[in-house]
Structure 1
Amino acid sequence: MPISAASHPELDDTLALRRRTLTLALLTLTYFFSYMDRQILAILLELIKADLKLSDTQLGLLAGFAFALFYAGLGIPVARFADKANRRNIIAVSLALWSLMTALCGLAQNYVQLLLARIGVGVGEAGSSPPSHSIIADLYPVEKRASAMAIYSLGVVLGGGFGTMIGGWLASHYGWRVAIIAVGIPGIILAVVVRLFVVEPKRGLSDAARVADDSAMPSIWSAFADMWRNGAARHLVLAVTLTSLIGYATTSWGPSYLQRSLGFTVGQVALIVAPIAAIIGTISGVGGGRVADWAAKRWGIHAQSWMVGLLKCAALPFTLLFFMTDVPAVAIGAYVFNMLFANSYLGPTFAMLQGLAPLRMRAMWAAITLLVINMIGLGLGPTMIGVLSDLYLPYAGKAESLRWALITAVAATPWAIFHYWRAGVMLKRQQEMVA
C-alpha cells in the first residue's frame, strides 16, 4: 500500500522546504499581479478623467479610499481564517477573484460602475498578503527572512513598474479600457498554477526554538492588544504606515504629476520612467534585504530598523528635488536616487514584525499591519492628494496644484524616520533583556 503524505506530515514538510524557492517565486508573482492590477490606474488617471469627466477628488477616491476600505477591512477576517485554514487555497481563490474584477473595470461605462469594480478588486486582494507573509515566515528562518520578504516585496516595484509600462503602452495605442482588461486576465491562469504547485507548510516550520501549539485561536482583539503592548511592533507599524501613506500618494499621482507639471506624455512615462522604477526598485529591494540580514547578524535585529531610517534620511532630499524641479532631466536623476534609497523598507519591516509575532498570530499580525497601512496609507494617501490638489487649484493653477499637494505629503517623512529609530531602540532593549 502506498504511503500517503497525510499520514506522514514530515513528507509534506520536506516537500515544502524543497519547493520554498518556487513558492516564494509564485507568491512574489502573485504580489506582482496584485500591485499591477492595483496601480495600473495611476498611468490611466488622466485618460479616465478626460473620458468620464471626473474631478481630482473623484480620482483620488477611486485610487485610494474606495479600494482601501474593502481591501484593508476584509484583511482581518481573511487573516483570521488563514491562521487556521489552508493559506495556499485562500491565495489562489483571491487571485482569481481580483483578476476577474480588474478586467471588469475596463467594461465600466460611468464612474459608479468603475467604482464598484474597483471595490471588487479590493475585496479579492484582501486574501493575498496576510497568508503570503505567514507562509514565507514558516519557510525561511529568521536569519534569511528579511531577504525573503524583500524578494516578495519586489512585487510592489515590479508590479507598479510593469503596470505603468504595459498600461501606458496599451493605453496610448488602444485606450485605457483595453489596458485594464489585458492586465487582469493573466492572473486567473496564475491562480491555477498557485493552487497546483505551492505546498502548504507546517506553522513554525523554520522556527527551531518556537513550537506551534494546537490551543484555541486567540481572538482578534487579543492580536491587536499584543501588538499594541509590544513597543517595537507599535513603532514599526506607525513607521511603515507613514511611509506607505507617502508612497501611495506619490506613486498613485506621480504619472499625473509628470504629465501636468513636466510635460511628459503617457508613452514617455511608460517607456522612460517606469523601466527606471522597475530596475532601481529591484536593486534597492533585494540589496536592502541582504544588507538588513547582514546588519542583523552583525549587530542584532534592531540594526534593520535603524538601517531603514538612515536610508530614508538619504532619500528625502532627492524626493523633494523630484517634486520641486522644473527640469525633466533633473527630475529623472532625483527619482533614481530616491528609489535607490527609499525602496528597501518593506522587506525588513515585515520580517521584523513576523519575527515578533506569536506563531498562531502571524497572518493576523500581518493583516493588522496591512489594515492600518492600507486604511491610512492607501486609503488616505491618494484621496488626500486629490482633495489637496483641488483645494490648491485656485491659488497654484492646474499645472502646479498637484505638485504642491505631493510636496505636502512628502513633508511627513521625518515623522516616519522617528518611528523607525524608536523601534530600533526598543528592539535593542528586548535583545538585551533576552541575553
Structure 2
Amino acid sequence: MRRSLRTKLGAALERRFPEKRLFLRSDTQTRFVRLSPATQITAILGSALIVGWAIMASAIILMDSLSAGSIREQAEREQRLYEERLNTLSEERDKRLAEAVAAQERFTVALDQVSEMQMRLLASDERRREYETGIEAIQATLRRTIQERDEARAEAELLQARLEQNASEDERERIRGADAMGALDLLADALEDTAEQRDEMHEFARAAAEQVETMEYEAQLAQERNERIFSQIEEAVAVSLEPLDDMFSSAGLPTDRIIGQLRSAYSGQGGPLTPLTFSTKGEMPHPDSLRANEVLGKLDELNLYRIAAQKTPFAVPVKSAYRFTSGFGPRWGRMHNGTDFASSYGTPIYATADGVVVHAGWEGGYGRLIRIRHEFGIETYYAHLSKIGVEVGQRVSRGDRIGDMGNSGRSTGTHLHYEVRQSGKPVNPMTYIKAARDVF
C-alpha cells in the first residue's frame, strides 16, 4: 500500500516536474547533470524561501527606518522644549539670586537702623537717669535748707529767751524787734531761694516731659520703619527658602536630617548670620531682637540649603545637545538602573554635585567608569566613557569636567549611562533633575 502510494506520488511529480538534464560541454568532453523532480522541488522551495525572507527583511528595515525618523523628530522637539525650559529656569534662578541679594542688603540696612534705634533708646535712658539724679539732688538741697532754717529759728528763740531773762524791759523790746526783723529777713531769703528752685524744677520738669514725648514719637516712627523692613525681609527669605525645601522634598531627601548634619559640620562661630546678643540686665529680650534672630536663623538655613544643593546631584551631566535613549526601569527583561544620554563621541561629561572620586577606570560591562561619592550617602556613576579626566581621591565640584562620552564596555552605541545611588540602592536620576527644574 505504501509502495503504491509512493509510486503514485513519484509519477505525479514526474508529470509536473519531468526529469531534466543540464549539459556542460568543454573542449574535450561533454558532461550533463540530471535534475530529478525532487531536486527541482527543493530548488524552487529554497528560492521561494530566500525571496520571502528578503521581502520581509526589507519591510522590517523600512518600518524601522520610518519609526526611527519619527522618534528622532520627537526627540529633537523634546530637546528644544527642554532647552527652552532650562533657559527659563536659568533666568528664574538669576532673579531668585538677585532677590536674595537684595533681601540680604535690606536686612543689613534694617540691622543698622535697629542698632541706631537701640543706641538712641540707651541715650534717652541715660538722660532720664541724669534728670532723676538732678531732681533728687535739688530735693535733698531743699530739705537741707528747710532743716537749717528750722534749726536757726529754734536757736534764735532760745537766745531770745535767754536775753529776755537777763535784760531790762526796753532792751528786751529792742532785742525782740531786732530778732524779729532778722528772722523775717532770713525767712524772706529762704522763701525767695525756695521759689527760685521751684521755678527751676518746674522748667526742668517741663523740658524733660517734652524730651520724653519727642523720644516716644521717634521710637514709634522707628518701630513702624522696623516693622515694614522686617516684613519685607521675612517675605523675601520665605520666597527664597520655599523652592529649596520643595526641591529636596521632591527628591525624597530628609531635609531636617540634612540641615542638621550640615549645621554640625559647619559649626564655626562669627560672621553676619551670628544671632544678635544684647545685655538685658535680667529683663526679657526686646521683641525686635528676637525677630531679627529669627530672620538670621532663616538666612542661615537658606545658606545651608545652598551648600546642600551643591553636594546633591541635581544637575544634568551633559551640557551639550543630547537625547534620552533609555530611562530608569525594566528593559528587555532586566532592570536598567540609570538614564542614558546619547550625543556625539567625545562630548564632555560633567560632575553633577560636589564629591570625591572613588573609582576611575575599567569595570566590566560599564566600560570606562567614574564613581563619585557625595554627601548624604549618595553616589553617582558615569559609564561607557571614551576618556577619564579624574583620579581616585580627587575632589570635584559641580560642573567640573570629569571625562568624555564614549562607547566602551557593553554598549550598542555612543552614550552616557548615568546612575544615582542612595545608600547603595539605585534611584531614578530624573527624580533629582526634575526636582531642580524650578530652582536652577
Q: TM-score range by the shorter chain?
A: under 0.3
Q: Which has the higher helix share?
A: 1
- TM (norm. structure 1) is 0.22
User: TM-score normalised to the size of structure 2?
Assistant: 0.22
Higher strand share: 2
**Structure of higher CA gyration radius:** 2
